[in-house]
A = this chain, B = another copy of it.
Amino acid sequence: MKFFLEPRSVVLIGVSRQTGAGAYNNFEVMRRYGYPGNIYLVHPKVKEILGQKTFPQVADLPETPDLAVISLGRERVLGVFRECLEQGIKRVVVISQGFADADARGKELQEKLVHMAREHGVRVIGPNTMGIVNAWSCFSTAFVDIPREAPPPPMTLVVQSGVFQAGYPNFTGHLGKSIDIGNAGDVDFVDLLEFLEHDPQTRIIMLHMEGIKRGRKFLEVAARVARHKPIVVLKTGRSTAGAEAALSHTGSLVGEDAIFDLAFRRCGLIRVRNLVELRAVAKALLHFRPPAGPRLGMVTATGAFGIVAADACEDYGLELAPFPEGSRDDLENPHIAWHRLHNPVDIWPLGMVSGSFAGVFTKAAKALIQDERVDALLGVCPSWASPLHADIDMVAAVREIQAANPSQKPLALCPYGDDTLRQGQALDQVPGVACFDTLDEAILSLAATWRWHRMVVGGGQGSQTLLPSSPKPPSPTPYRGLERECGGTAPLKAGLLVGEEAMALLADYGIPLVPGRLVQQEAEAVAAAGKFGYPAVLKIISPQWLHKSDLGGVLLNLGGEAELRKAYTALTEAFSRQTPGGQLQGILVQKQVRGVELLFGLKQDPQFGPVLVAGMGGIYTEIFQDVAREFPPVSRVAAATLLRSLKIYPILEGVRGQAGVSLASLEDLILALSCLAEDHPEIAEMDLNPVVADAQGCWCVDCRVVVAE
């Protein structure tokens, strides 16, 4: 990766002959960015560009450059790429568009390119990229002129679009080094994270992700890197419409958004939802340490904003710290007896009486920041250009506060008034301080960085959700119902498993099934129901009646033998009438169980592999979508956490005098599914729905399994 970011020499192929305004000439841009290495230009026709001699082809170069940058039309890329390989060039950036981001032809071209690269041990960034912009090495392959920050900030961007490089002042605010992986044909997020893990110039990593290919590997690497360096991810294509646009943009596979959510949470990544959050969180990470807890102390020059802050704390998951009672006498002013302080500390009346806003602000801020129950400080302060307010020197005040802040708790400021731009810049220079445009941005960034601290440094709730740092997590705790170790079973036959076949698979893993028997005769049905006990259920089992509920093929609440016989006749008659010549495998007699209806399942995600699902079953499933997900293998603790994360967990525990359900039996079921997922990676989808749970245990009532080829 080093040769991509700090090449000693580079060849530009497809450089524009135009220069100056409107040229988009990457040679011109590279020079302006200050690149000190050798730049070679390949151009078939023009002899020189900007006074520098060009070469007709790559073979004519006097040395083998560390890096080639190709900006040709897509049909000419492969030929030149082969030339580069022949000349021994080991690193190539393919700027050109029109590959997997475009059409079938482009996809084919990209596959060929990647195949050639792998054959020759050559690494490629792109296609469809602006490449590298590295303020540390003064190197830029961009064809737009991007200002270079000096000294470079320790913030590295890995993105799938050059807009985050070209517009970084608006998006991340800063850019130390950046890599646009574009379509990620070869070099991908995993490669970059592995490099950045040990890069001393990178303290903060910002990802713009449209899709991912090596999901499982990403989980492993990201979880390891995020322990040392905060990783912020803007995953776009959350919406259906967005996902469509993503396919046409980078050709990445876009997965179900909830699974990305799970993946990021499990790795300890900070996910931002939009560009407002991206900018705010980037600033927070660059300016101050993440808070070690969620308790906010606040000093405000207006009571109204104490209320706004309380709203924002609730929105983003922080809380207001208790007021530091020990400082009350010192802070309150006996001349305004009616003014009782709390947190947020409204200093306006104090300032009006004492005559020094900066003074009372400083005093209150110091009291808060030195209180051990305060994890971060937020200040709302006026910033006016008027000479009438020249007495408010917030910069001096904030320096004084920081001098009394040895544990470096974060200090976020929201200046307001007509001079916030100028004063905000001055305040941003004070170490450990960051100014935000709005209180919402300040609070969301404190909340997001605290979540990272909680996930990674641990101690708080939620830290257990992080993936273990060893590549292979420990095998799940054994559960009742399975004697053997997971693994080593023969693969299942491809196709759809329903009815007894599916249930038999569950039984192998010790998953309890509702008592039932597939019968061919009414008398058998009566005998079975008598054995299980009433009420009973009858169901039509037929490949023609897969959606049997919708077709009326399920009759519930059969209270006794007479009702059962009537129902049996009704079902068989309905089957013959509605599907003449259909294949009736039999009538399933089940004991009717009552309890909480749940649903469990497995899904093979194209990026991240098997995902285990638990949720509310029954008719409300789709409406409330109360579903939680986890990557197998899961431990018993993780199984319990999964259940606890459901909204209906209070029902499972028992509410309003009602008995709860057997949580242990549900944990066993989750462990069994986890084992199933390990044994049978060929399972594409699997639904246990419903699973009925009561205080005694749980029983799977129906199951369906899709086995991939």
Which residues in A have some Cβ–Cβ distance to B below 8 Å? 20-25, 28-29, 32, 74, 97-98, 101-103, 105-106, 144-147, 159-164, 166-167, 169-171, 208, 210, 236-242, 244-246, 248-249, 273-276, 279, 301-308, 310-315, 319-320, 336, 338-340, 342, 344, 346, 348-349, 352, 355-356, 382, 384-392, 416-418, 420, 437-441, 549-552, 559, 619-620, 622-624, 626, 647-648, 650-651, 655-658
Q: Is the CB of B311 within 8 A of A236?
A: yes
Given A313-B241, A620-B651, are A167 and B417 neighbors across the interface (CB < 8 Å)? Answer: yes
Q: Is the CB of A619 within 8 A of B310?
A: no
Contact partners of A303 in chain B: CB under 8 A: 101, 161, 245, 248-249
> In the complex, given contacts A102-B338, A162-B302, A241-B319, what are 6 additional A-B residue pairs having Cβ atoms less than 8 angstroms apart?
A145-B388, A166-B384, A169-B417, A276-B440, A437-B437, A623-B651
Contact partners of A647 in chain B: CB under 8 A: 623-624
Q: Is the CB of A416 within 8 A of B103?
A: no
Q: Is the CB of B382 within 8 A of A144?
A: yes
Q: Is the CB of B210 within 8 A of A144?
A: no
Given A103-B338, A314-B239, A382-B144, are A21 and B387 neighbors across the interface (CB < 8 Å)? Answer: yes
Q: Is the CB of A549 within 8 A of B29?
A: no
Given A304-B160, A306-B249, A310-B242, are A97 and B349 neighbors across the interface (CB < 8 Å)? Answer: yes
- Determine how close the nearest CB of chain B comes to the CB of A28; give it in whole angstroms: 7
Between A and B, 10 residue pairs with Cβ closer than 8 Å are A21-B391, A24-B352, A144-B384, A145-B388, A167-B417, A238-B311, A239-B315, A241-B319, A619-B655, A624-B647
- Determine how close the nearest CB of chain B comes to the CB of A142; give it in whole angstroms: 11
Contact partners of A307 in chain B: CB under 8 A: 210, 236-237, 242, 245-246, 249
* Complex Cα spacing A239 to B314, Å: 6
Q: Is the CB of A306 within 8 A of B420?
A: no
Given A102-B338, A169-B418, A657-B551, are A304 and B161 neighbors across the interface (CB < 8 Å)? Answer: yes
Q: Is the CB of A310 within 8 A of B245?
A: yes
* Complex Cα spacing A315 to B314, Å: 19
Q: Is the CB of A344 within 8 A of B245?
A: yes
Given A98-B336, A237-B307, A314-B238, are A276 and B620 neighbors across the interface (CB < 8 Å)? Answer: no
* Complex Cα spacing A315 to B344, Å: 31
Q: Is the CB of A339 within 8 A of B98?
A: yes
Partner of A106, one of B338, B352, B550: B338
Contact partners of A559 in chain B: CB under 8 A: 559
- Determine how close the nearest CB of chain B comes to the CB of A165; give it in whole angstroms: 11
Contact partners of A620 in chain B: CB under 8 A: 620, 648, 651
Q: Is the CB of B161 within 8 A of A249?
A: no
Question: Which of chain B's residues has its CB closest to A348's CB?
Answer: B97
- Determine how close the nearest CB of chain B comes to the CB of A544; give it in whole angstroms: 16
Given A249-B304, A657-B551, are A29 and B388 neighbors across the interface (CB < 8 Å)? Answer: yes
Q: Is the CB of B623 within 8 A of A657?
A: no
* Complex Cα spacing A412 to B144, Å: 24
Q: Is the CB of B304 within 8 A of A28?
A: no
Q: Is the CB of A314 within 8 A of B241?
A: yes
- Determine how close the nearest CB of chain B comes to the CB of A554; give it in whole angstroms: 8
Q: Is the CB of A236 within 8 A of B304?
A: yes
Q: Is the CB of B163 within 8 A of A549?
A: no
Q: Is the CB of A342 within 8 A of B248?
A: yes
Contact partners of A240 in chain B: CB under 8 A: 314
Q: Is the CB of B416 within 8 A of A236?
A: no
Contact partners of A23 in chain B: CB under 8 A: 388
- Determine how close the nearest CB of chain B comes to the CB of A657; give it in whole angstroms: 4
Q: Is the CB of A304 within 8 A of B210?
A: yes
Q: Is the CB of A550 within 8 A of B339?
A: no
Residue of A146, A171, A239 with most partner-chain B CB within 10 A: A239
Contact partners of A163 in chain B: CB under 8 A: 301-302, 304-305, 416
- Determine how close the nearest CB of chain B comes to the CB of A595; give it in whole angstroms: 12
- Determine how close the nearest CB of chain B comes to the CB of A132; give it in whole angstroms: 17
Q: Is the CB of A391 within 8 A of B170?
A: no
Q: Is the CB of B160 within 8 A of A314?
A: no
- Determine how close the nearest CB of chain B comes to the CB of A95; give it in whole angstroms: 10
Contact partners of A306 in chain B: CB under 8 A: 245, 249
* Complex Cα spacing A47 to B60, Å: 92
Q: Is the CB of A28 within 8 A of B388?
A: yes
Q: Is the CB of B656 within 8 A of A550?
A: yes
Partner of A161, one of B145, B164, B167, B302: B302
Q: Is the CB of B389 within 8 A of A144?
A: yes
Question: Which of chain B's residues has its CB closest to A28's CB?
Answer: B388
* Complex Cα spacing A303 to B128, Å: 11
- Determine how close the nearest CB of chain B comes to the CB of A566; give it in whole angstroms: 18
Q: Is the CB of A102 within 8 A of B386?
A: no
Contact partners of A348 in chain B: CB under 8 A: 97
Contact partners of A312 in chain B: CB under 8 A: 274
Residue of A418, A420, A441, A650 with most partner-chain B CB within 10 A: A418
* Complex Cα spacing A384 to B441, Å: 26
Question: Which of chain B's residues has its CB closest to A167's CB?
Answer: B416
Contact partners of A25 in chain B: CB under 8 A: 388
Q: Is the CB of A438 within 8 A of B310?
A: no
Q: Is the CB of A389 within 8 A of B167?
A: no
Residue of A106, A238, A310, A352 with most partner-chain B CB within 10 A: A310
Given A145-B389, A550-B656, are A440 and B308 neighbors across the interface (CB < 8 Å)? Answer: no
Q: Is the CB of B619 within 8 A of A656?
A: yes
Contact partners of A208 in chain B: CB under 8 A: 304
Given A160-B304, A549-B657, are A274 and B311 neighbors across the interface (CB < 8 Å)? Answer: yes
* Complex Cα spacing A673 to B89, Å: 81
Partner of A384, one of B145, B302, B310: B145
